[in-house]
Amino acid sequence: MNDLDMISDVLDKFNIKDGIKSIDMINSGHINNSYRVVTNCGTSYMVQKVNRYVFKDPTRMMSNIDRVTNYLRKKISEDGGDPDRETLRFLYSESGSNYYIMPDDSFWRVSVYLDRATAYNTVVDGKMLYNAGRSFGTFQRRLADFPMDTLYETIPDFHNTPKRLRDLFDAAHADPLGRAAEVSREVEFFRSVADKVCGIDRLQHQGLLPLRVTHNDTKYNNILIDDDTHEAICVIDLDTVMPGISCHDFGDAIRFIVNTAAEDEPDLDRVHVDMDYFTCFTQGFIGGSDGFFTDTEIDCMALGAVCMTVEVASRFLADYILGDKYFKISRPRHNLDRARNQIRLAEEMQTLYPQMQEIVYQTSGRRAV
Ligand code: GN1
Ligand code: MG
């Protein structure tokens, strides 16, 4: 059965009985299947089928999400905010959990859809970027005292950059589909930057960078912007919230935001780093953090941008070599286009690294340690 035919049965399991008025597929994510469903009463829900190839144990992911969202609700209330607008609320199904496994083993969840708010796939203005930066920073701050050890690792080694690069080299070596020859230049790029981009991982292992509860997928379209106020109100896509490194959250957001082209733009001449956007987001994320980050974290933020761009490029390329099993594609060579795009972006970031570093220092009022 396809997803659309199942949605009404899924809603039934979540005790939503008022009939479906409309269903729209949301195409921005690369992993789960997401639908906005409006019922006849006019209530909107986000209905999602979780990707079980990517999330091997989605029940653990939903347990993380349950505890993190409940914790955030308390923190938001304490801050005088509106928990129903500033964090996600997942519904409980007839089985008592915040998910439901259908007879065909598909894994579903339903959350309240926030109206009058938009997830943007492209940057519209700097003020919104600043707000997004603040909001991702606030997300980490609010979770600073969350008992980190109780969180499951929803995808093991998710931002383990050395392992991601090893996986790519192994994929190129195994070359099951004969695709490695055409990407030998790209694979060489990863060998040339490996030592540099693994620097954050080394510092973390030396105990110089703290683990925090981080989001780990801070794409710009993973934040909802209020249609009226343009405030970044709610961080969404909590699937990879787990212990991580703050510079990775900063860097992953930057790699998406500063790109003057879409992440999968095949014309590489259109791919550049927008330094104004870099500044806006940095001012929100770091400037709005009231000294939350350590000096070493500040020192690694710009490197985090290069690191996350290289890492996701390696993941796209490995997926292309292995037959496009992880990221959804909508055309042949889509993952190769994405990988080449991100490599180009990372190359330009390396050139601009001193300027990025300077902006981070100026914003934080701190210098290299
Ligand atoms: C995926 O789910 P989505 O589309 O927000 C991926 C991220 C990548 C991103 C690249 C669980 O994010 O790690 O950075 O694509 N999420 C997962 O666009 O692998
Ligand atoms: Mg995601």
Ligand 1 atom closest to Cα of residue 30: 4
CATH for 3-115? 3.30.200.20
Name the residue with the closest Cα to ligand 1, atom 5. Answer: 29
- Amino acid 148: pLDDT: 95
For the chain, give the percent of residues with pLDDT over 90: 96
- Amino acid 339: pLDDT: 99
Q: How far is the CA of 40 from the centre of ligand 1 (A)?
A: 33
| Structure tokens given for 280 | 């806006």
What digits encode the pLDDT tens for the residues 261-303?
A: 999 999 999 999 999 999 999 999 998 887 899 999 999 999 9
Q: How far is the CA of 59 from the centre of ligand 1 (A)?
A: 19
Domain range list for the chain:
3-115, 126-364
- Amino acid 369: pLDDT: 63
For 31-35, the CB contacts below 8 A with 24+ separation are: 31/239, 31/327, 31/328, 32/239, 33/3, 35/3, 35/4, 35/7
Is the pLDDT at 368 greater than 80? The verdict is no
Number of neighbours of residue 114 by Cβ within 10 angstroms: 21
| Structure tokens given for 356 | 């990025």
Q: How far is the CA of 204 from the centre of ligand 1 (A)?
A: 23
At the topology level, CATH places domain 126-364 in Aminoglycoside 3'-phosphotransferase; Chain: A, domain 2 (3.90.1200)
Ligand 1: residue of 27, 28, 31, 311 to mutate (most ligand atoms within 8 A of CB) is 31
Residues with CB under 6 A from ligand 1: 29-31, 54, 217, 219, 222, 237, 239-240, 263, 312
Q: How far is the CA of 86 from the centre of ligand 2 (A)?
A: 18
- CB distance 189 to 88 below 8 Å: no
d(CA 201, CA 194): 11
Name the residue with the closest Cα to ligand 1, atom 1. Answer: 30
Mean pLDDT calculated for residue range 319-347: 98
Number of neighbours of residue 124 by Cβ within 10 angstroms: 11
Secondary structure percentages of the chain, helix, strand, coil, to 5: 50, 15, 35
Residues 6+ apart with CB under 8 A from 229: none
d(CA 122, CA 134): 18
Q: How far is the CA of 188 from the centre of ligand 2 (A)?
A: 28
Q: How far is the CA of 335 from the centre of ligand 1 (A)?
A: 12
- Amino acid 22: pLDDT: 97
Q: Is the dihedral of CA 68, 203, 276, 252 positive or negative?
A: negative
Ligand 1 atom closest to Cα of residue 216: 13
- Amino acid 331: pLDDT: 98
What digits encode the pLDDT tens for the residues 105-154?
A: 999 999 999 999 999 999 988 999 999 999 999 999 999 999 999 999 99
Ligand 1: residue of 26, 28, 30, 224 to mutate (most ligand atoms within 8 A of CB) is 30
DSSP state of 34: E
